[in-house]
Structure 1
Amino acid sequence: MLEFRDVHKTYTTPQGPLSVLSGVDLQLRAGESLALMGESGSGKSTLLHLAAGLDLPDRGEVCIGKQSLASLDEPGRARVRRETLGLVFQQFHLVASLNVADNLRLQARLAGREDPAWSARLLQRLGLAGRESHYPEQLSGGQQQRLAIGRALAPRPALLLADEPTGNLDETTAETVLELLLELVAESGSSLLMVTHSLKVAAPLDRRLILRRGQLLAESAESHLPCA
């Protein structure tokens, strides 16, 4: 579903070049969940941005399915994000002017895959049934994050990218939201790549990798085939 092949990324800083990723190889299979761990500044968010096509590597290749993101122009990468990816962030990024129902349906409508029955099921599973006319400011932090997760999963994306999705929640709420996230990912059939600094959050996922000094640890050596 997602593959990084010898990916390098360096940024220019006032102090000189800063190498963030150095020869990263990664494979995420369809239906698999993977936790990406590492210290602050280790490059986790950079890797996630590359997976989403929000940035491109200096060297190497990032593929979603059989499609190399570097072979696409920005409108093409935006189309991949719209039609193939779901994104969940630590900040909820809900649309303040839209109510719960419209926030939930937003991504599915953009992808052209709105499914009223699935949306209704999501609202029920998210504990938001009966709050369809409420606005984000009328929801608790946990409710807002559940809504953000539902919005990302409404189009049943092939790949869900989550960046510290429980980082802004208290421990009890975070556990509830994480459990719900994993259940809904399984129901939707999506693959999941989650960035987290918490071993407790990472533990329920299928695999865990550590990013350290720009390289992944605990990734098994595998042969790689061309994208095409």
Structure 2
Amino acid sequence: MLNFHQVYKAYATPQGPLRVLDGVDMTLEKGQSLALMGESGSGKSTLLHLAAGLDLPDAGKITFQGTSIATLDEPGRARLRRQSLGLVFQQFHLVPSLNASDNLRLQARLAGREDPAWTRHLVERLGLSGLEQRYPEQLSGGQQQRLAIGRALAPRPALLLADEPTGNLDETSAKEVLMLMLELVQESGSALLLVTHSPQVAAPLDRCLKLTRGHLAEPAA
């Protein structure tokens, strides 16, 4: 599904190049869930952006479903995100001028894979029934994040990328949203790569890796 082979990435700073990924190897299988942990600034989001084709590595190879991401031009990478990836961030990134129903359907429509039955199921499972005509500003933070998760899963992507998806929520809402997301990911058949700093968030996933000084390893017990 997703493979990183000897991936390097550095950023320019006034003090010189800052290497955040230093020969990273990682494999994510179809339908698998993987938590990526690390301290703030360790490069977790950078790795996620590389997986999404939002950025390119300085060296190494990233393949998604057998295709090297670096061989795709920007329209090709945008097409890959539209057709095969779902993205969920700490910020909800909902379209304020669209109601909840249209926000939910947006990604599936762009991908050309709108499934009314699956959409209705998402609305019910996400606890959004009766709220379809409301606009994002009329929803609570938890409702907005559930809507963002539903939008990402509406086209049944091969891979869902989630960057601290519950970071803006209180502890109770965060736990509810996380477990609901994991259940829906399993129902959709998607693989999941989730970035978090929380062992509690990482615990329910199939695997966990920790990014430290540019290297990935199993976290210490």
TM-score, structure 2 normalization:
0.98
**How far did 1:21 drift?**
0.3
Q: Which runs of 5 or more residues in structure 1 are unaligned?
A: 220-228
Q: In structure 2, the residue corresponding to 1:13 is in which secondary structure?
A: coil
Aligned to 2:21: 21
TM-score, structure 1 normalization:
0.95
2:31 aligned with 1:31, yes or no? Answer: yes
2:47 aligned with 1:53, yes or no? Answer: no
Aligned to 1:158: 158
Q: Give per-residue Cα distances to partners, 1:53-78, cap 9 Å, x unaligned.
A: 00000000111110100000000000
Alpha-carbon distance between aligned partners in 2 of 1:64 and 1:122, rounded to the nearest angstrom? 26
Q: Which runs of 5 or more residues in structure 2 are unaligned?
A: none
Alpha-carbon distance between aligned partners in 1 of 2:42 and 2:111, rounded to the nearest angstrom? 32
List structure 1 runs of 4+ shifted beyond 6 angstroms.
none
**How far did 1:15 drift?**
1.2
**Count of aligned positions:** 219
Q: In structure 2, the residue corresponding to 1:113 is in which secondary structure?
A: coil
For residues 185-204 of structure 1, what are the structure 2 equivalents within 5 Å? 185-204=185-204
Aligned to 1:176: 176
Identity %: 75
Aligned to 1:144: 144
Alpha-carbon distance between aligned partners in 2 of 1:7 and 1:187, rounded to the nearest angstrom? 31
Quote the RMSD (CA, aligned, Å). 0.7
* Corresponding letter in the other structure for 2:42: S
**How far did 1:130 drift?**
1.1
Alpha-carbon distance between aligned partners in 2 of 1:218 and 1:133, rounded to the nearest angstrom? 45
Alpha-carbon distance between aligned partners in 2 of 1:211 and 1:99, rounded to the nearest angstrom? 38
* Corresponding letter in the other structure for 1:210: K
Q: In structure 1, the residue corresponding to 2:17 is in which secondary structure?
A: strand
Alpha-carbon distance between aligned partners in 1 of 2:67 and 2:139, rounded to the nearest angstrom? 38
